[in-house]
Amino acid sequence: MKVSILTVFAELYKPFVATSLIKKAQENGLLAVDVDEFFSFVQPKERIDAPTFGHGPGMLIKPVVVQKAIEAKESLHGKAFKIFFSPQGTKLDQSVVAQIAQKAQEQGHLMLIAGRYEGMDARVEQVYADMTISVGDFVLMGGDLASLTVLESVLRLVPGIVGKTESVSDESFSGPFVEYPHYTEPIVWKGLEVPDVIRSGNHGAINTWRMDKAARKTVLHHFDWLRTRTLDSAQMKVCKKNMPHHYTALLHNDVLISDSQKSGTTSVTSLDIHDIARSSKTYGIKGYFIVTPMLDQQKIVKRLLDFWMSEGVEYNVSRHEAVKQVSLANSLDDVIVVIEKIEGKKPLIIATSAREIEHPNCISYYDQEKVWSYDRPVLFIFGTGRGLTKERLLASDFLLKSVKSFSDYNHLSVRSAVAIVFDRWLGINEKT
């Protein structure tokens, strides 16, 4: 495979491509790397850059210079799969690396075109880029580190460059999980012992242990990656095992009952019981509590739950499965006691509200890692009426940001809000 690199600073690449496996691949004839500077394509003393049109600082590499460089390299090595670099580009991850590796091998020629200064004239990418890559949401001084990152990650996937194919295919982000932990000698180091199971010689047990560790690490630290992947049934099972347990409670007390900010109690509704039960079951919530201190309301809930535990089974078995997880509670304190009994630990309480209030622990839908790091069950609380009182919100461990979009209207039903919150917090959102 041929790799052409176009840059302002060729010397950045020289030691890199003359080292280790990339050097060996060139010696073995698997790879030819051609690094060249844009200066090779202008007359001596001619500039490769020019000021941007419009106000604002910065110089851009001229399109004609990039054109000459690309045309020269393609006439030497054949048509290339061409990559440009920009913080605005496609975010690099292992699946993007795999796509580039495949295209580069099909084409036989990969070209990496690294910008500098303020970047390049926008028309160059428009005309030539097969892909524009970003290595993250930050700004480098030039595209060279991004280009070296692409070079090394892509070459790992070209057969023959890295010795064992399993060391490439088993690693983090090649599948849905990051890699399991590795250990070597000595068996005990700084009081930490290599787990017995991986020295047991029992391959089945080692594989099970490794999958469990990989899944746990991915759930707890890379949930945003995991939820975009497609999981097989074994992977799904091990993820479920490692997911922290979640519960939810719908409060009919400690809620606001009018715009005048008065707190009070509300009536239960059959729709909230059924629909939130179904959302809870769908998102793996372990228990759904209807909280009301009012005896007449408790009677209504009991009657409904009794129905679903008796005739309801035959009437609609999937609804029965969902409602089976619903319990009635007198107060939030009672809910906490029940969860503590089941889990052996008090739950962390995440309160939800459509109103924005100041809370010392306000969290977003990207904060699973923070909450799950406490290794405690999680209880979401939702309010009926006009929402949970300020006192109840402030007494909770966390306050989750309100659900909102690009409109001024903010009056979701509690059933809809619950479903959205569950989906944002626990939902799978496969990319392919």
The binding site for ligand SAM (CB under 6 A) comprises 85-88, 114-116, 118-119, 134-136, 138-143, 146
Sheet holding 348-352, edge to edge: 326-329, 287-291, 246-251, 378-383, 348-352, 398-400, 362-363
Rounded CA separation 41/69 (Å): 6
**CA–CA distance from 323 to each of 153, 270, 319, 333, 426 (Å)?**
49, 11, 6, 22, 20
- Which residue lies nearer to ligand SAM by CB, 133 or 251? 133
Do residues 60 and 121 make contact, with C-beta atoms less than 8 angstroms apart?
A: yes
- Which residue lies nearer to ligand SAM by CB, 146 or 300? 146
Residues listed for the chain: 432
Q: How far is the CB of 57 from ligand SAM (least distance, A)?
A: 10
Q: How far is the CB of 141 from ligand SAM (least distance, A)?
A: 6
Q: How far is the CB of 122 from ligand SAM (least distance, A)?
A: 11
Residue 370 has a CB neighbour count (10 Å cut-off) of 12
Q: How far is the CB of 173 from ligand SAM (least distance, A)?
A: 18
Distance of CA 417 to the CA centre of its chain: 22
- Which residue lies nearer to ligand SAM by CB, 99 or 325? 99
Residue 262 has a CB neighbour count (10 Å cut-off) of 11
Q: How far is the CB of 11 from ligand SAM (least distance, A)?
A: 17
- Which residue lies nearer to ligand SAM by CB, 88 or 230? 88
Q: How far is the CB of 67 from ligand SAM (least distance, A)?
A: 17
Rounded CA separation 399/236 (Å): 29
Q: How far is the CB of 51 from ligand SAM (least distance, A)?
A: 14
Strand partners, 247: 287, 379
- Which residue lies nearer to ligand SAM by CB, 6 or 135? 135
Q: Computed from CA positions of residues 132, 41, 10, 51, in that sequence, does the dihedral angle turn out positive or negative? A: negative
Rounded CA separation 17/405 (Å): 48
**CA–CA distance from 184 to each of 59, 187, 407 (Å)?**
51, 7, 56
- Which residue lies nearer to ligand SAM by CB, 6 or 219? 6
The label of the residue with tokens 């028309």 reads: 123
Q: How far is the CB of 15 from ligand SAM (least distance, A)?
A: 21
- Which residue lies nearer to ligand SAM by CB, 143 or 387? 143
- Which residue lies nearer to ligand SAM by CB, 120 or 379? 120
Position of minimal CB gap to ligand SAM: 143
